[in-house]
Structures are given as structure tokens and as C-alpha cells.
Structure 1
Amino acid sequence: MSDEELIRLAQSGDATATETLLQRYKNAVKSVARSFFLEGGETEDLIQEGMCGLYTAVQNFRPGKMSFKNFAFLCIYRRIVSAVRSATRQKHDPLNKSVSLTDNFTEERIISDLDPEEMLIGNESRKELMESMKTYLSDGEMECIRLYIEGHSLTEIASRTGRSEKSADNAVQRAKKKIAKKLEEER
């Protein structure tokens, strides 16, 4: 069956026709994907993006202007380039390079795999951070973030500090932003 016949069937809901087209062009997707590098990812991630581009080509192809093969390559290429560009943008760096307040400083942290030296350094770092936070957080923010780091819920923080849940959440969020800003300045 020709590509155009399969596309017509696929666009009318025939899953077998769609699968046939995806299999037919899978090697083309792999070929395009291998020519790119995705920071923090693997070639398989790019192949997956390319397959999404191919699926889009199957769904959106309109005969007339170009052949399906050329349209498919264009969609595959654009999808992979878009994925590579997204991965190299720095707008997500704060999320990708952030330090979790709860993971690093709670008492629930599993310490069985740490040697005594690492435990001592961790305790000293926690104490230093808590002391430095006192210089740029208000007393209310300090109290709320301390309870948050200890693992208390917003309801518990509100109850213990005599605030509303919204006020406790605002204090925690302000404290997080101030801490993140301070950590960024120190880098």
C-alpha cells in the first residue's frame, strides 16, 4: 500500500495503518536523531521525539504541496530540533539545579550510608545555613521555614505559629525565595 493510501486510512482512524506508517519511517527517525546531541538525554529520547513528529506528520499531512516522505522528514526534524533547543535553554536551570530544603536538612534523611565524617559535615552545614538564614529572614519566616524543614504540614505550621494556612504558606514561599536568591548570590 502507498503512503498516501495508508495516510488516508490512518486519518480516518485506522490504527493499523498508523502503526504501519510509524514502522515504515522508524529508521528515518533514527537516522535524523543520531545526528543530534541532547544534553542530559540519550539518543532514545530524541528518537521518541522524532516518533512524535512522525505521528504529527501522519495526522496533519495534506496531499498536494509535497510528498509525505518530505513532509514526514520536515516534521521529524523540527520536533527533534525543538527538543534539543528546549534542553539547552537556561530558563529551567533554577529547577534543574535547585537544592531541596527538605531532602538535605530533615532528620528523616537516611544516614545509615554516611560515615561519621560526612554526618558531622552535614550537621555543621545545616547549622551554618540555619544561622545565616536568621540574617535575611524575618522571625516569622524563620519559624515557618524551620517547621517546614522539619517536615510539618502547612496545617501544623499554621497551628503552631498562630497563623492562617495561607499566611503560613506565604511565609514558607517567601523564605524559599529568599534562600534561593541568597544561594544563587553565593555561587
Structure 2
Amino acid sequence: MDLEALVLEAKRGNKDALEEILSRFKGFIIKTIRGIYISGYEPEDLLQIGYMTLIKAVQKYESYNNSSFVSYATSAIKNNFYYEIRQKSKIHSESSLNLETEDGLMIMDNLCSEENIEETIMLEEDKRKLMAALSILTEDESDFIQFVYFHGGKIKEYSDLHNIKYVTLIKKKERILKKLRLLLA
């Protein structure tokens, strides 16, 4: 059945004809709402607005106006969305930099922060990877690395404590660091 005939049937109260019209325009409505953002509206809300507009267009359409129903309905749908956008934009909202956030900070405090969030996240990720790599080391290797790098000990001190030659520990350190580099790569 052609669209004009469906519109006449729908105007007479035929619900199947109205559902067929809604089905035919669903794609157009979805395509239109993809390009629209209205604060506080979900896509399902916009879809319902589109359907309601289409139902009103069916009720008000007069075929003697020399325009097709397609152009009449598409214009009505677009115009109604633009109307909704205009109505929503008239609502003014005010905010203050002194407004307190959920965590008790002022918005101004967050703007002036010296903290680099991206860098902090990257450092945490690097730390997690390093700890995972360190857990793979043998107990002897881990003990040595922790003594030198985490506790600030000197290789000479470790040499004296464990009665290991200094040169042997230097070579051991190079082997362990090479192993860690491979694990972290």
C-alpha cells in the first residue's frame, strides 16, 4: 500500500496502517536523532518524540496541500526536534567555581591542581609492571635488587654482608637489570 493511502487509513483509525507508517519512518527518525543532543534526553526519549510528532503529522495532514506526506512528516519531525532544542537552551543553568564537588573539593581547587593525572596513572602502571617483573626474579636476585634500589644500600655493603666479591655483584646487577628490561619490554 502506498504511503498516502496508509495515511488516509490511519486517519480513519486503522492502527495497523499507523504502525506501518511508524515502521517506515523509524530509520529516518533514528538517523535524525543521531545528530541531536539535548541535555537530559536519552535516545529513547528522542525516538518517542519523533514517533509522537509523526502521529500528530498523520492526524493533521491534508493531501490537497500539493505536498507529499513524506516531505510534510520529515519537516514536522525535524522542526519539532529543533523546537525541543530551543526550549531546552532557554533554560539557563548557573555554576560557580566555588561549588563543592562530591568529594568535598571546590571546582576551583581542581582547576589549580599541579597534579598531572595522566603521569600519575602511567607511573602506577609502570610500578605494577615492575612489581610483577620483580616477583619473577629468584629470591637471591630479588634480595640484592631490593637492598640496592629500594633500601638505598651500596653494592660494597652488600658485598661485605654476604661475603661476595664486589666485581661478582656488579656483573650480577647487570644480568638482573638485563633480565628486568626483557621482562618489562
Length-normalised TM-score, structure 2? 0.47
TM-score by length of structure 1 reads 0.47
